[in-house]
Amino acid sequence: MIRDAILACGLATTYAVQLDIPGLPFGVGELFLMLWMMLSVGRVLAGGRLETTPALTRLASFWTIMALSLGVGAVVGYLTTTLYLTGVVHDTMAYLLLASITCLAAAEPDADRHLRRTAWWVVAIANASFAIQLGLGWGWIHQSGVDPWYWDRFRGWSENPNQLALYCALFGPLALHLATTTSSPWGRLLGLGSLVLTIYVGRLTKSDTFLFTTILTCLIFLALRFRTWLTTGSGKVSISRQVALLSMVGFLPLAMSMTPYVLTEVSGIENFAKSFTKDQGGEATAKTAALRFYLWEDALGKGLTSGSLGLGPGPHLDTPAVAYNQFLPRPFEAHNTILDLYTQGGLVAVAALLWIVGSAAMSAWRAKLDALLALVVSIVVFGMPHLIIRHPIVWFALTICIVAGTPRADSATSRELG
């Protein structure tokens, strides 16, 4: 119980860069994660056991492939370009931390129960911290060294609004999973109630990606729940299911008949959608999009130049002609998970990432865990315009999907370690 809570504290606060500990190169979140690792390793050294499960095998295989591809990329980068030691060390330490956390969590006896309990703690701690950050943002409370606003965009304790938006985009489906799979009415109420604050904070960040991710995730979740509802019932055909099927059959001709009326309102719908984006789809959105495309083109060129082997951990892109103050100085990152990983570990690393994310999605699909599948969709969508694989919450989400949807090893394939 205590270790689960400590892990949750780390996962729920790793975005809180403004809460860095003076004199230390890491923040509060990383401190909790390292404390959890030490306690987990200490448990094993004291005689505790680890289990080799299919979930652990997948995660260990992924990180092994990643280590090899990044190692080869580092050699190529050392021979062909200038590597910035700060970025290399930062990314290497981040990958080591993530690999240790995911593998240790998946190797826990009864890992599914521990991860689920940790998820409840994550949702509770996240919402409590959101309440504090909103108090800071509206001036109700004060905290020295913290500026909760980035111009007109809310960032709370994070360095920039997009970091906070990512965590809100993942906390929501995670809470939805807990609410829809619990047998406790109070748990269901708390899980669904936490969505209100999470979505509100996410909208305050004015992240276009958060808005798109949230809408798409909700639509996919509703479609999956509808699928589950239609396919359950032990083969019994009820009147409600018959009505639903007839509605689905009649939806297509109805939609076609409404097309002329919908087309006349396209401009109004477009303006309505723009009203939700930062700057209402104006100059700020256009500049951000232009910079993204510039960086993506440069990343693709860097990856091809390396022979698709990558250049090792760390950012490798040159500073754009017009640098925006929301990005760090040289060297730049592509702000696209696939392209950034392509510049680091080449095609092998990209293939490994696609495999592990696809494995998490398939595990959630086979287990009919609709909210977890929506959670994977959130990761994929948010990863397109951002680099997110260094965030522990992303790997916790993938781990809980793989573990929850993968059967535990039986006596013929499992054994105790340590």
Domain spans of the chain, in order of start:
2-29+54-231+288-411
99 within 8 A of 392, measured Cβ to Cβ: no
The secondary structure element, H or E, covering residue 22 is none
Q: What does the pLDDT profile of the chain (418 residues) look like in tens digits? A: 788 999 999 999 999 988 877 777 778 899 999 999 999 999 888 888 888 889 999 999 999 999 999 999 999 988 988 777 888 898 999 999 999 999 999 998 888 999 999 999 999 999 999 999 999 999 999 888 889 999 889 999 999 999 999 999 999 999 999 999 998 899 899 999 999 999 999 999 999 899 999 999 999 998 888 877 776 654 454 555 555 545 545 545 644 554 554 444 444 434 434 444 455 555 555 666 777 788 888 889 888 988 899 999 988 887 766 544 444 455 678 889 999 999 999 999 999 999 999 999 999 998 888 999 999 999 999 999 899 999 999 999 999 999 987 766 443 344 444 4
Q: Where are the alpha helices (DSSP H) in 138-207?
A: 161-181, 185-204
357 within 8 A of 398, measured Cβ to Cβ: yes
Question: Which position has the token pair 């001709």?
Answer: 253
pTM of the model as a whole: 0.85
Phi and psi at residue 56, to the nearest 5°: -65, -40
Picking from 382, 380, 342, 348, the residue whose alpha carbon sits closest to that of residue 361 is: 380
383 within 8 A of 209, measured Cβ to Cβ: no
